[in-house]
Each structure stands twice: as C-alpha cells, then as structure tokens.
Amino acid sequence: MISTSEVVQSIIQKSPLLEDGLARGIINYSALARDLRPQIEKKLMKSIKRGAIVMALKRVSKSLKYEKQKIRQTINLSGLTIRSNLVEFTYANSDTMTEKPKQVFTISEKRKGVFCNISQGVRETMIVAAEEVEDEIKKIFKQERLIASIGDISAITILLNKESIITPGVYYSVLKLLAWNNINIIDVISTYSELTVIFDNKDIDKAFTILRNYNSNQ
C-alpha cells in the first residue's frame, strides 16, 4: 500500500516550484500541507491528518536540501570562462564530411587561444568557433548542406568535478537558474569536467552575473 510520504514526494516531484521552495527552506509546511491535503486524501482514499503531511514534507525537504548541497559541491563557479565573438554552424551529415572537422581543428590549433568545438550527432554536425575562423569554416564546408548559422553569440564555461557524472540534477540546476531569470540558451556543450552554455551576446552579462552568484541564488 502506498504511504503518505510516497504520495507527498510524488506531488512535489511534479512541481519544480514546490521542489525548489522546499529545498531552500522557504515554504511554510503547515500551509502547504493544508493545500495538498485534498489531493493526498483522494489518492490514498482515506482521511489524513495534517500533521502527518507536515512530517512527510519535512522529510522531503531534508532530502532535497541534501541533494542540492551535493550538486553545489560538484560545480566550481570560482573560475567561469567567458568567450565572446563566436559563431555557430550546423551542417547535415554526409559521406563527404569525414575529414572536414579535422581541417577546422587544424586551422584553430594554428591560432593559439582560438575557441573551437565540434559536436557530431546522428544527422547533424555542429561547429561553434571564434569569428576569426568563420570564413575558413565556410570554405571547408561549402559543399555541405547548411542547416543553420548563428552569429553574435558568446559562451560561458563552468568547471565540474568528477562527481558530476554520478550526481543527478547538476545540469538541471544550472539551466533552471538561467531559465527562471528569462535567459535564453542557444546551445549546451559538455565534456567530462566542463559545461559550456551558449548565449546571445545581449544575454551574456546577465548570465554571467546569475551564475557567479549561483550559491546565493540556491
């Protein structure tokens, strides 16, 4: 038989706002218990005391706070890296594309400090690089089908520790914070210990401020 705690946890998991509020300890347990009581009783098909719901909420809150603390420990925001003046190209994959990403990397390597990232999916290949190699990229891929091209973009790279790959919610906590502050994300690039988020140039300053103050916003 399903318990009160299980029902409460199920309800909270379906509401990001409630989940975040409980994790931050800013929700009145008694008021929330009163609000949730009708749907909890409906699911359990019996009357439930408000005190039992309050206790269940406290247990959920404690668990969420622990999870949030684990996530914070995996993210190193003391060394955010900003890269500006970037461009993004997305091409359809083809039989003639195999060697072309290598040519782009060769060009970028000759220019020390030039950012270049290439991600190959099942149907598409995406290139995010500094504007200074834009013409070379266009030349290399001129015979390929261009799906999209985006200019006037910037990137912020966040360092992650090795625990991030086994800690649920690491990416979500960062992306959620940006979304709640009405900051649009153009793309996300990840490696083992880095998370790079691509923004429109007009959003980069706000995004940097939000991420820099990550711990105080959680």
pLDDT at res. 218: 54
pLDDT at residue 79 greater than cutoff 80: no
Residues 51 and 65 in one domain: yes
Domain edge (last residue) among 14, 34, 69: 69
Positive or negative, the CA dihedral 131, 132, 134, 140 is negative
**Number of other CB atoms surrounding residue 176 within 10 Å:** 14
Domain edge (last residue) among 19, 45, 69: 69
Q: Which amino acid, one-letter code, is at 74?
A: T
Residues 81 and 65 in one domain: no
pLDDT at res. 17: 86
Task: Encode pLDDT of 86-129 as tens digits.
Answer: 999 999 999 999 899 999 999 998 888 799 999 999 999 999 99
pLDDT at res. 111: 87
Angle at 143 between CA 188 and CA 190, to 5 degrees: 15
DSSP 179: H
Residues 61 and 86 in one domain: no
Q: What is the 3-state secondary structure (H, E, C) of 109-178?
A: HHCCCCCEEEEECCCEEEEEEEHHHHHHHHHHCCCCCEEEEEEEEEEEEEEECHHHHHCCCHHHHHHHHH
- The tokens describing 153, both together, are 């973009």
Positive or negative, the CA dihedral 198, 202, 204, 207 is negative
Which pLDDT band, with edges at 50, 70 and 90, does 216 fall under? low
Task: Encode pLDDT of 187-212 as tens digits.
Answer: 999 999 999 999 999 999 999 999 98
Residues 61 and 88 in one domain: no
**Number of other CB atoms surrounding residue 111 within 10 Å:** 12
DSSP reduced 3-state for 198: strand
Q: Find out whether 91 and 145 touch, Cβ atoms under 8 Å.
A: yes
Residues 125 and 58 in one domain: no
CATH number, domain of 128, equals 3.30.2130.10
Residues 79 and 64 in one domain: no
pLDDT at res. 57: 96
Of 35-44, 120-129, 171-180, 207-216, which gets the smallest average pLDDT?
A: 207-216
Range of the domain at 39: 4-69
Domain edge (last residue) among 19, 44, 69: 69
pLDDT at res. 199: 98
Residues 52 and 82 in one domain: no
Query: How many structural domains is the chain composed of?
Result: 2
Residues 183 and 79 in one domain: yes
Which pLDDT band, with edges at 50, 70 and 90, does 73 fall under? confident
